Structure 1
Amino acid sequence: MAALAAEESADSVDVGKVKVTGQNLGNGQMVVEEAGKARTTITKEALEKMAPAANAIDKLKYKPGINVSSNDSTGLSGTTFTMRGMQSDQIGVSMDGIPINDSGSYELYPNLMGDPENLGEVFATQGSSEIDAPHIGASGGNIGLVSLPPEKDFGVFAKQTLGSNNLTKSFVRLNTGEYMGLSNYISVSKTNADKWKGKGDLDAEKVELNSLYKFGEGNSLNAIVRYHKQENYNYATASKAQFKADPRYEFADRPTYTTVGGNTNMTASSYAINRNPFENLTTQITGRFQLDDDVTLTVMPYYYWANGGSYSTYGNAASLNRTSTGSNQYNLGNLGTSADYAADGSPTSGLYYRPSWTETWRPGVNTKLTWMINDEHTFDVGYWYERARQRQTQPFISLDAEGKPVDIWGDFHDSNQVRDANGTVVQGRNWFTTTPSQKLFVQDTWYATPDLTITAGLAYDHSERQGEKKVSLATGSTVDRRPGKKNQKYHEFLPSFSAKYQLDDENQVFYNLTRNMRTPPNYVLYNAGSSIELKPELSWNNEVGWRFTTEDMTLGATLFYLTFTDRQVSSYNQAANDYEMLNVGKVINQGVELEWSGLLPYNFNYYASYTYTEAEQQDSILTRNVYLPTEGKQVAAVPKNMFNLSLGYDDGRYYGNIAGRYVGRQYGDMTNDESIPDFVVADLNLGVRLPVQGTALKSAAVRFSVTNLFDKEYLSGVKSVSFNSVRYNGSGSAFAGANSPFYTIGEERVASITLEGSF
């Protein structure tokens, strides 16, 4: 099954070959990689033995080069990560070949990752964006999620999880079995949990259909449909001062009301307004056609739809009244003034829930033709095209007397949204972006000798941002918010080269050189200053590696040197009172990644990884008329040292492992004036596979997991980076004001128990 999953993933991503010898090493945390580049894989076995509800990115937290920070272990809340010194919005992430980063900002959201129960493996190429990967925003690496294929036999798999904070997850998957080459499964799940700090809960429902039809010799069609819907409450992030005062810092449990002149009005909001509803649908059909004995064609059309948004406010709710700034965009004569609302007897008049709402339509197609010319050469040529459209709005939705929104969904035609005297929905922002993207690539794999493989390729990446500003509030900004259109084009040639040499049965070395590109996010079309002139990020990834493998142990070591120019950072333009995108120059990331796993006597096993990363900014940054001393400083949110170690036991019936994770100091600002301390956390996983002889069950197991075993209080990662947390150049008109970074608070100790069985 793992081999078939790897084969399916190769349809859209060059994953190399995976060699598995005997029992999986280190609880399935590592396999023997064969790609001519740095690559790490987590198998289904390891996915099953970790926290049951955690999403795919959460489960990469022990892998070299990757630093993951999540709000909790439900798999439904915010997840951020860095990989080899690059931020999560610089990494391309695909699900069975579909790009799932946001098409505008490249952010990654947990709701797009599906149920981990349906995954066969998750892999990462830490520094290389694959030549055929469907991304325009990957200047530093690639992560791929690979689904399980349908089984040939009829069966039902059911799983029930209960845990801390009222966690419940129910999952059922039905396999129809194979009939005349067609096999299918459909799965449904329901997850709900209270937030571990503050009020509110997380709630999600998922449905997935996977159909595989095999016909002829080497021909197949694989259709996958996924749907997800959630209605979550947000977690609050904290400054260091807020965390010190309250390690469980959160949004208020209830609004604050103030009485003036006999009138009571809400002056501060609560958790109830900090919401994140979202739904999404992805569909794809992957066709593999054996045109000739030596020629294979892969065609994968897909469609991605997403609709949802989020609102997080730490003070009062959004306000809107007749005298609101920028009313020239709308006829607000039908609204009252702020004085009218303060005296009308309703505590929430003129206050609103205003989510940043995004709806995305994203059709695309990825194709690849593979020609095995002879025993020495395999030639690939491919073409990817996508036309993403994205509407980003900010509607105003009324609050009831308790400070709760009357509707949390900000759909474009919702009747609960505030309209002006002309019946037009009032929007805080109103953008429509179209992003046609395409990539053409060629690649030759030369098996020069039985031990030496050389791969060389060239891709041409072309994309365009077409933006339309529609009517929206100006809210004090001097940026021209009148309706209008802008567009910008980006294109680049991206070469790649790798060489792999098998020294002997145990030793293998490789070298890889890849150029990656990240097109600026769609915000450049709407932000202040010269944002639209921003150049794309370009990176060169150099890596040399060594792999050592014996019957019961494998070790991998990689030295990397990654340079990227024209780094893109969002900043606040004080003169324009609005945001702008800045080019902050060059960054060099260099370091070493080690991964080691093996088997020990008496059914014990081990897994360890270590990463050292120097991510050094090469330029000082000009902001607010001041050059900040960022040259030579570590990139924020990137720890220099990370170490993971787990010791496990598995005799086929009972298993257990304890895993420890050390993460070094992380800076919260680009000047390295503020940081959060290093930390160590440990997780525990235990399980027993129940005997099923004489029953209707094919398999059954009970699993128990504890995260943050020793209940450590800590800040796990940087959620929002600031330029500088202390002032520079004194005070007055020429100074860089201090802005506090905000951090993710590490989750307390939580436990879960899972009962699962297949029939």
Structure 2
Amino acid sequence: MNTKKIACLASTALVGSLLAATAAMAQSTGTDAVEAVVVTASGGPKAVAGVIAETAPKSKVSITQEAIATQASGQTIFQSLNQIPGVSFTNNDPYGSSGGNLRLRGFDGNRVSVTFDGIPLNDTGNYAVYPNQMLDPELISRASVNLGTTDVDSPTASATGGTINYVTARPTKDFGGVATASLGSFGYHRGFLQLNTGEFGPWGTTAWISGSYQSYDKWKGKGELEKKQFNARVFQDLGNGDFVSLAAHYNINRNNNYRQMTMAEYRAFGRRLDFTDTCVNRTLNTTTGSITVAPPTVAGNCSDFYGRQVNPSNTGNIRGSGKFHLADNLIWTIDPSFQYTLADGGSQLGTISETDLRVLGTSNVGKDLNGNGTTTDTVAFFTPSVTNTRRYMVTSSVIWQASDTQRFRVAYTGDYGRHRQTGEYTFLNPDGTTTNVFGGKDGHGKKVFGSDGSFLRARDRYSVAQLNQISADYFGQFLESKLTVNLGLRVPYFERQLNQFCYTSNSNTTSSGIIAGFNAFCTTRAPAQTNADGSVQFANGAGVVQATKYIKPFSLTKKYDDVLPNVGVTYALADNHTVYAAYAEGFSSPRTDNLYTVSLVNGQVATAGVEPETTKSIDVGYRYTTPNFVSSVALWKTDYSNRIVSSYDQDQGISIDRNVGDVKSYGLDAQASWQVAEYLRVSGSFSYNHSEIQDDFRVSSSVVLPTGGKAIVETPEYTWGGRVDWNITENLKFGVQAKYTGERWATDVNDEKTPSYSVIDLDLRYDLPFAERTYVQANVTNLFDEVYFGSISSRNTANGVVTSGGTFSGSAPSYHIGAPRTYQVTLRTQF
């Protein structure tokens, strides 16, 4: 018999309250079947009263569609989760289409397993998560955050921290639909339509299809953000809890970036400093507060121009899922999927001489690239870093319910990602904008050809990321179900196949600090000489050998594996009182860009000394529940080995990793939700996070940065949040929420930090008495127009460090400035 737990989720408040519990937010059909959770209510006073004492030892918080619907229309799901303790999300714009930074107990988004109906959304190469590519919020039935650890079957080779999973709504049995129309500040307009077929065919099949369109202007500077999304799902109930389902998702983003700024730039020019409206070169003097502009010396060569700062992406997936009883006490689940990504970023600006070796190729004669009849110019092109991924995956579980209180499961994950990274040049329009946002990528823009007919490209590599993972867990209840024991083991086997088709500078970094994996030299020209160490050098058109040494194109395979325990115990002390403890280990294999950072060692290509990051985490928690009050508190501790810090460098257009060694962190997460009266609900959360780097960081053979004893970047020590929901009348509902984020360090040596800030949002909903199931909702975000530093691009040191071994120059961190007060109104109808 299946163990069923009824979790009635709150309508507009965050519930779960750090439920150290199994909840219906499973990462896979297998985990969902193991937990066997039934969500039976989602509204009104029943919500708090319906949250029962759970048994699994995982700190988890969950929200329903009712809570998501109170937020601004079209907003990323990460913003809706920002009220949860332990979560810190900085949104880069008011509506969520420009991305943002996620932190979960100090883990950045690369270390958090983010799943969509059980399929992983973390990039196969760098493990990044892109908040602007999430599912339309109207289609999310529920979302959950597992604060401390992954699930035992989490399909990931990167997550050393917790998990975030959201689940798509099932089709309804009756025909109907939902439509919304929204208007807001900065020219915001959005429309959404979903149609449910109701039951059809001989087996009562159900399905829905939806589409949305969103567009608005940047809140500062020139440019716009546009998003189109299409979704569909077909569901077949097979009886006895069994089913098969097939869903599809496709998302198109076309965005202009916001300019990051340093603290000095903010103080001198204010929060509205952005990219230039036209193609000019600009010099900022932060001392005098003056700005000078000049036309580019090379036509189109203007890196601070908004038209060259674009962020396009086409992403999609097909998701299958199925659950089948092989016997009364034996279940098989399977979740196959396919994902597609085409996106670009990078500096998107390149200039090249018409006699450059890459232009010459096998020839010794230059090429007239700009059509002016000469071959003596330097010409500007659009040179994006394009990533094209095709990812095939399956997760599957076999579950044996040995008795009412004993259960066993084995699971398998297979994840195969083909990762093509290119940088084909394409031409510019006369105004400096690009002729195609994907450059010269096949099937998109026009390529730029050199003298020998080969096309110009900034990078050219092909990688394969392959995960084979087995896991097993045991669940048992004892002492009249007061004691619950959960023992699990996850064993990932991960392999990266690397194929670099360009030449690479024979050093780990260039003089500009760009890691060698990005310092590709792509040419069809044959080297002029091969050196004793295996490096090569090229000769120019006049036959003169150039000084730079390169590593030849190469192929490598790197393999990683680990054995990761995941165990926990809960005990019901008395009615309404439960304690639990959990221990789990995490593992994050090196990212693609790390492994393309190579040098020659004894004539052989060797990757940089990048080792997997590992964690050991402990959670101890206590829960107290009554019919009208739910509360929880959790103490936690995480030890990192080989902690890697990543930051995005907007000038170079890449994320740069740095190893800060071992880190120890600990903290507290607490939350409470109280149904004060039938018409009034109050919830609040609090988090404390202390982190400490254990050792100084060696940056060269002679210079050591004093990082020992310092805190991790971008992680606030204190955060708190709160929300009040007040049903003023039967038709009028009011909500207000606040989030406080404490000071955050922006450098590893802790010599620059951001001030703390608080953001308050409110929402007001009126159910139209003359139109059934129709309402108007107004949202105001950042009600008091708080000016604050949002996402951080951190650095080693801002001011520089002088040590006995030498001087290490500083580099100013840069920041996204938080969006100003924003208004939005939405009309929603259900039919």
TM-score normalised by L of structure 1: 0.92
From 723, 729, 752, the equivalent of 2:796 is: 723
* Structure 1 residues 592-603: aligned runs within 5 Å: 592-601=668-677, 603=679
1:568 aligns with 2:676: no
Asked if the contact 1:617/1:635 (under 8 Å) is kept, the reply is yes
From 144, 168, 171, the equivalent of 1:123 is: 144
Amino acid at match of 2:824: S
Which residue of structure 2 lines up, in the alignment, with residue 509 of structure 1?
A: 579
**RMSD after superposition:** 3.1
Percent identity among equivalent residues?
27
Which residue of structure 1 lines up, in the alignment, with residue 305 of structure 2?
A: 270
1:420 to partner: Cα distance: 2.0
1:321 aligns with 2:398: no
1:333/1:664 CA distance change after superposition, 3 Å: farther
Which residue of structure 2 lines up, in the alignment, with residue 641 of structure 1?
A: 718
1:604 aligns with 2:680: yes
Q: Matches of 1:483 and 1:722 in 2, distance apart?
A: 31
- Provide the secondary structure at the position in 2 that maps to 1:671: coil
Which residue of structure 2 lines up, in the alignment, with residue 335 of structure 1?
A: 367
Deviations 1:555-583 (A, max 9, x none): 110000011101124699xxxxx998554
Which residue of structure 1 lines up, in the alignment, with residue 20 of structure 2?
A: none
1:111 to partner: Cα distance: 4.1
1:601 to partner: Cα distance: 2.9
Q: Matches of 1:3 and 1:549 in 2, distance apart?
A: 13
Q: Matches of 2:809 and 2:434 in 1, distance apart?
A: 35
After TM superposition, the structure 1 stretch with the greater mean CA deviation from structure 2, 583-592 or 359-368, is: 583-592
Which residue of structure 1 lines up, in the alignment, with residue 775 of structure 2?
A: 701
1:726/1:25 CA distance change after superposition, 3 Å: farther
1:453/1:341 CA distance change after superposition, 3 Å: farther
Which residue of structure 1 lines up, in the alignment, with residue 89 of structure 2?
A: 68
Asked if the contact 2:158/2:588 (under 8 Å) is kept, the reply is yes
1:592 to partner: Cα distance: 0.1
- Provide the secondary structure at the position in 1 that maps to 2:143: strand
Deviations 1:699-740 (A, max 9, x none): 11111100000111111231x110111211269x93211011
1:453 aligns with 2:453: no
Q: Matches of 1:399 and 1:374 in 2, distance apart?
A: 68
Asked if the contact 1:2/1:121 (under 8 Å) is kept, the reply is no
After TM superposition, the structure 1 stretch with the greater mean CA deviation from structure 2, 329-338 or 317-326, is: 329-338
Q: Matches of 1:318 and 1:446 in 2, distance apart?
A: 61
1:508 to partner: Cα distance: 1.3
* Structure 1 residues 464-503: aligned runs within 5 Å: 464-471=495-502, 480-503=550-573
1:504 to partner: Cα distance: 2.3
- Provide the secondary structure at the position in 2 that maps to 1:407: coil
1:130 to partner: Cα distance: 1.1
Asked if the contact 1:190/1:206 (under 8 Å) is kept, the reply is yes
1:280 aligns with 2:312: no
1:652/1:150 CA distance change after superposition, 3 Å: farther
- Provide the secondary structure at the position in 2 that maps to 1:672: coil
Asked if the contact 2:611/2:642 (under 8 Å) is kept, the reply is yes
Asked if the contact 2:568/2:582 (under 8 Å) is kept, the reply is yes
Which residue of structure 2 lines up, in the alignment, with residue 296 of structure 1?
A: 331
1:142/1:261 CA distance change after superposition, 3 Å: closer
Which residue of structure 2 lines up, in the alignment, with residue 380 of structure 1?
A: 409
1:267/1:156 CA distance change after superposition, 3 Å: closer
Amino acid at match of 1:109: Y
Q: Matches of 1:431 and 1:531 in 2, distance apart?
A: 15
1:555 aligns with 2:631: yes
1:11 aligns with 2:85: no
Amino acid at match of 1:668: A
After TM superposition, the structure 1 stretch with the greater mean CA deviation from structure 2, 610-619 or 111-120, is: 111-120
Which residue of structure 1 lines up, in the alignment, with residue 787 of structure 2?
A: 713
Q: Matches of 1:367 and 1:277 in 2, distance apart?
A: 34
Amino acid at match of 1:656: F
After TM superposition, the structure 1 stretch with the greater mean CA deviation from structure 2, 366-375 or 405-414, is: 405-414
1:207/1:533 CA distance change after superposition, 3 Å: same
Which residue of structure 1 lines up, in the alignment, with residue 471 of structure 2?
A: 441
Asked if the contact 1:329/1:472 (under 8 Å) is kept, the reply is no
1:164 aligns with 2:185: yes
1:321/1:63 CA distance change after superposition, 3 Å: same
Q: Structure 2: any 5+ residue segments left out of the alignment?
A: 1-5, 10-22, 282-292, 512-518, 520-547, 600-605, 649-653
* Structure 1 residues 518-557: aligned runs within 5 Å: 518-528=588-598, 531-557=607-633
- Provide the secondary structure at the position in 1 that maps to 2:152: coil
- Provide the secondary structure at the position in 2 that maps to 1:131: coil
* Structure 1 residues 186-265: aligned runs within 5 Å: 186-245=209-268, 246-256=270-280
1:677 aligns with 2:712: no
1:335 to partner: Cα distance: 2.9
Q: Matches of 1:539 and 1:381 in 2, distance apart?
A: 23
1:24/1:12 CA distance change after superposition, 3 Å: farther
Q: Matches of 1:332 and 1:177 in 2, distance apart?
A: 69
TM-score normalised by L of structure 2: 0.84
Q: Matches of 1:28 and 1:171 in 2, distance apart?
A: 31
1:101 aligns with 2:122: yes
Q: Matches of 1:755 and 1:118 in 2, distance apart?
A: 17
1:431 aligns with 2:454: no
Q: Matches of 1:672 and 1:417 in 2, distance apart?
A: 45
Which residue of structure 2 lines up, in the alignment, with residue 590 of structure 1?
A: 666
Deviations 1:43-96 (A, max 9, x none): 111100111121111111111001101111322111211110111111110000
- Provide the secondary structure at the position in 2 that maps to 1:586: strand
Which residue of structure 2 lines up, in the alignment, with residue 575 of structure 1?
A: none
1:472 to partner: Cα distance: 5.9
Q: Matches of 2:209 and 2:40 in 1, distance apart?
A: 28
Aligned length: 742
Deviations 1:401-456 (A, max 9, x none): 21111111236324512222233222211111101111101100001232111100
Q: Matches of 2:99 and 2:423 in 1, distance apart?
A: 21
Amino acid at match of 1:189: S
1:486/1:242 CA distance change after superposition, 3 Å: same
1:201/1:33 CA distance change after superposition, 3 Å: farther
Q: Structure 1: any 5+ residue segments left out of the alignment?
A: 573-577
Amino acid at match of 2:232: L
Asked if the contact 1:305/1:361 (under 8 Å) is kept, the reply is yes
1:20/1:444 CA distance change after superposition, 3 Å: same
Q: Matches of 1:479 and 1:518 in 2, distance apart?
A: 33
After TM superposition, the structure 1 stretch with the greater mean CA deviation from structure 2, 101-110 or 261-270, is: 261-270
Q: Matches of 1:112 and 1:755 in 2, distance apart?
A: 24
Asked if the contact 1:20/1:31 (under 8 Å) is kept, the reply is no
From 788, 812, 824, the equivalent of 1:752 is: 824
Q: Matches of 2:302 and 2:373 in 1, distance apart?
A: 11
Q: Matches of 2:134 and 2:815 in 1, distance apart?
A: 24
Deviations 1:282-315 (A, max 9, x none): 00110111111111100111000111112447xx
